[in-house]
Amino acid sequence: MEDARMYALRQDPPQEFAARLKERLLREDEALPARREWPLMKMAASIVAVAAISALLTVPAVRASAVAFLALFRIVNFVALEVDPGRFKALGSEEFSLKQLIGQHVQEIQDPGPATAVLSVAQAGSLAGMDVREPAWLPDGSRIIEMSVTREGLARVTADTTRLNQVMDALGITDLRAPDRLDGQVMTVRVPPVVMVRYQHGGEGARTTRLFQARSPEVTMPTGVDIAALGEIGLRIAGLPRAEARQFARVIDWNSTMILPLPPNSTSFKQVNIAGNPGIAVQYEDSSDTTMILWSSGGRVFGLVSIQEMEQALAMANSVR
């Protein structure tokens, strides 16, 4: 019997059936009550949004330098904030997408494309243009089961204050306005290559950990705007109450701080010290208890997302060399 004959029973589902089923699924989705949980994907999207907003708003008020037309943002510190989950749900919607927030003037100069699977750490390092750091300690029975590299991404963003003000209006923020001088300013967002190594601790179906690392994303933008005022707008958009946003915006170092909004399903978070570097650890409930640790070291940012106890995740993070 030829192997091809083994596929003789295969046939495409009738198109009418496929369309009918899809329609039914979408109808059922609409009928479901709104979910309280905030899965990792949603949280990640929010983190991206806030990171971008933070970065876009991260300009020193004055930078007197011959080459200081452009200010630079790099991640050094992480700060966790409990914010309004409803607001982030709104920000994740089509109406308030990041592109809308920053004026729909995003020019993608270099598309990073999908992650490329690699076969070795050396290959990952070669593709990413950096030496890949690995945990010196792993739980018993651990092994690498997946590695990938996402190439560098580069985008140019032109600010649109009119749109930003419209968004704030739509969110009910009427006591703040985007600075006029921001309008038409061009910012560049560079996301260096990201290496992901996934470990499995034990046999099939066992717990896993993903370690991400990249040189810090960089944002350059014109100087001369009131960063604290812009930061305050960003925090209000993120859902912080007026007084807290104002106070927070004044004390934070916008040049180097990544804001991490805590998801509603987070059970705990704490500032941590990873091999002498500041970081943050968040535990949240998904289908499994998950620990996420973010820290930076030597101009590089690390993220460790692990389905195991926080102690073990911290031990792994602390051993990254």
Partner 1 sequence: MRWITAAEPDWEAVYTEQLPRVYNFFRYRFGASVDVEDLTARTFEKAWVARHRYRRDVAAFSTWLMTIARNVAVDHLRATRRHVPLEEATAIAGGDSPEADLIRSSDAQRLASLLAVLPERERELLALKYGAGLTNRAIAAATGLSESNVGTILHRAVQGLRAQWTQGQK
For residue 42, the minimal CB distance to partner 1 (Å) is: 8
**From edge to edge, which strands make up the β-sheet containing 266-274?**
116-117, 142-150, 194-201, 207-215, 300-306, 289-297, 277-285, 266-274
For residue 311, the minimal CB distance to partner 1 (Å) is: 19
For residue 21, the minimal CB distance to partner 1 (Å) is: 5
Residues 6+ apart with CB under 8 A from 58: 71, 73, 219, 221, 227, 231, 254, 255
For residue 114, the minimal CB distance to partner 1 (Å) is: 10
Tell me the number of residues near partner 1 by CB under 8 A. Answer: 57
> Can you tell me which of 85, 153, 222, 263 binds partner 1, judged by CB under 8 A?
153
CB 308, CB 283: distance < 8 Å: no
3 binds partner 1 (CB under 8 A): yes
28 binds partner 1 (CB under 8 A): yes
φ, ψ (nearest 5 deg) of residue 170: -65, -30
CB 259, CB 51: distance < 8 Å: yes
> Can you tell me which of 34, 35, 113, 311 binds partner 1, judged by CB under 8 A?
35
Residues 6+ apart with CB under 8 A from 47: 260, 261
* Inter-CA distances, 245 with 55, 83, 242, 293, Å: 16, 11, 5, 25
| Comparison of 39 and 299: residue with beta carbon closer to partner 1 | 39
> Can you tell me which of 71, 167, 292, 317 binds partner 1, judged by CB under 8 A?
292
Site string for partner 1, 172-211 (x = CB under 8 A): -------------------x--x-x-x-----xx--x-x-
Please, which of residues 239-278 interact with partner 1 by CB under 8 A? Answer: 258
9 binds partner 1 (CB under 8 A): yes
| Comparison of 163 and 201: residue with beta carbon closer to partner 1 | 201
Distance CA 159, CA 165 (A): 11
57 binds partner 1 (CB under 8 A): no
Residue 200 bridge partners (DSSP): 143, 208
Stretch touching partner 1 by CB under 8 A, among 6-14, 164-172, 179-187, 267-275: 6-14
Distance CA 105, CA 293 (A): 33
> To which H or E segment does residue 143 belong?
strand 142-150
| Comparison of 32 and 67: residue with beta carbon closer to partner 1 | 32
For residue 47, the minimal CB distance to partner 1 (Å) is: 6
44 binds partner 1 (CB under 8 A): yes
Q: What tokens does 68 get? A: 């200081």
25 binds partner 1 (CB under 8 A): yes
Distance CA 42, CA 29 (A): 17
- Tally the C-alpha atoms within 13 A of residue 166's C-alpha that lie toward its C-beta: 11
For residue 181, the minimal CB distance to partner 1 (Å) is: 28
> Can you tell me which of 227, 281, 301, 313 binds partner 1, judged by CB under 8 A?
301
Hey, CA dihedral for 213, 219, 225, 231, is it positive or negative? negative
- Number of neighbours of residue 172 by Cβ within 10 angstroms: 8
List contacts with partner 1 (CB under 8 A). Answer: 1, 3, 5-14, 17-18, 21-22, 24-25, 28-29, 32, 35, 37, 39-45, 47-48, 51, 112, 150, 153, 191, 194, 196, 198, 204-205, 208, 210, 212-214, 217, 258, 286-288, 292, 301, 303, 305, 307
